């Protein structure tokens, strides 16, 4: 039924959530701004600058554009240092086996992630050359829930949105898939979105979708 499958990265292929949390928390603590897991949950699938705006909602101070750029860079430096701990062992076996089986079945496999660190993360996981195409935070101007990142991914693999399935863990990602005309498969909180096409219990359930 589908010709291509487009995977979100963070929370689908690997679990960088805890590093994002730690890096934002460190920045928020330094600025004296309240930050918790609940606020962190709103950051899934959202671009770095949009995340910063969410983190700064609790601040009484107004920041200029240049100050915000510097804060986003500071967070990213912390995040990249934390990512140094990541290696091929952080790619769950279930994910790798499922990807291999989907590839065997003839699907084109692509990444559709808001992260500008996508290539570095894929390299660390040992998946640097694995996907047929990568659409990420570096080739888009609007982040999820805008469909741009998935539309670009479909274009890169030469398939139409209606022939691709998007796999997501964020509600913003399911919304993006829906707006772009894609069917979607949701893991975790993404299962709650009213427009999700398939609800997955675990990653390997993708093998039951035809």
Residues contributing to the site for Mg ion (CB under 5 A): 8, 10-11, 169-170
137 binds ligand G6P (CB under 6 A): yes
Q: Which two tokens stand for residue 194?
A: 């009213």
Distance of alpha carbon 75 from alpha carbon 25, whole angstroms: 9
Tell me, yes or no, if 129 is annotated catalytic.
no
Residues of this chain, 40-59, that bind ligand G6P according to CB under 6 A: 43-48, 51
Residues of this chain, 86-115, that bind ligand G6P according to CB under 6 A: 113-115
Residue 135 binding partner per list ligand G6P, Mg ion, none, with a CB distance cut-off of 5 to 8 Å that depends on partner kind: none
Sheet of 183-186: strands edge to edge? 133-135, 108-112, 4-7, 164-168, 183-186, 198-199
Residue 76 binding partner per list ligand G6P, Mg ion, none, with a CB distance cut-off of 5 to 8 Å that depends on partner kind: ligand G6P
Nearer to ligand G6P (CB atom), residue 115 or residue 184: 115
Tell me, yes or no, if 10 is annotated catalytic.
yes
Number of residues that bind ligand G6P (CB under 6 A): 16
Burial of 38 (0-12, 13-18, 19+ CB in 10 A): exposed
Nearer to ligand G6P (CB atom), residue 103 or residue 116: 116
Choosing from 10, 136, 146, 169, which is the catalytic residue?
Answer: 10
Burial 86-123 (b: 16+ CB within 10 A, else e): beeebbbeebbebbeebeeeebbbbbbbbbebbbebbe
Residue 139 binding partner per list ligand G6P, Mg ion, none, with a CB distance cut-off of 5 to 8 Å that depends on partner kind: none
Which H or E run contains 185? strand 183-186
Distance of alpha carbon 202 from alpha carbon 38, whole angstroms: 23
Q: Is the dihedral of CA 125, 132, 47, 145 positive or negative?
A: negative
Residue 169 binding partner per list ligand G6P, Mg ion, none, with a CB distance cut-off of 5 to 8 Å that depends on partner kind: Mg ion
The residues assigned a catalytic role are 8, 10
For binding to ligand G6P (CB under 6 A), which residues are involved? 10, 20, 43-48, 51, 76, 113-117, 137
């Amino acid at each position: 039924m589908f010709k291509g499958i487009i995977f979100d990265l963070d929370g689908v292929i690997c679990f960088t959530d805890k590093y994002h949390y730690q890096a934002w928390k460190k920045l928020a603590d330094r600025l004296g701004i309240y930050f918790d897991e609940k606020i962190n949950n709103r950051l899934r699938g959202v671009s770095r600058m949009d995340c910063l705006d969410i983190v700064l909602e609790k601040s009484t101070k107004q920041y200029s554009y240049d100050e915000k750029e510097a804060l986003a860079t500071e967070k990213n430096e912390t995040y990249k240092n934390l990512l140094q701990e990541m290696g091929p062992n952080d790619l769950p076996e279930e994910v790798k086996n499922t990807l291999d089986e989907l590839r065997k079945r003839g699907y084109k496999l692509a990444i559709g992630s808001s992260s500008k660190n996508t290539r570095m993360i894929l390299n660390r996981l040992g998946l640097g050359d694995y996907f047929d195409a990568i659409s990420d935070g570096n080739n888009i101007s609007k982040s999820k829930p805008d469909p741009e990142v998935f539309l670009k991914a479909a274009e890169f693999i030469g398939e139409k949105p209606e022939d691709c399935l998007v796999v997501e863990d964020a509600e913003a990602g399911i919304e993006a898939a829906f707006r772009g005309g894609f069917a979607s498969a949701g893991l975790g909180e993404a299962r709650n979105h009213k427009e999700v096409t398939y609800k997955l219990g675990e990653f390997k359930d993708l093998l039951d979708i035809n």
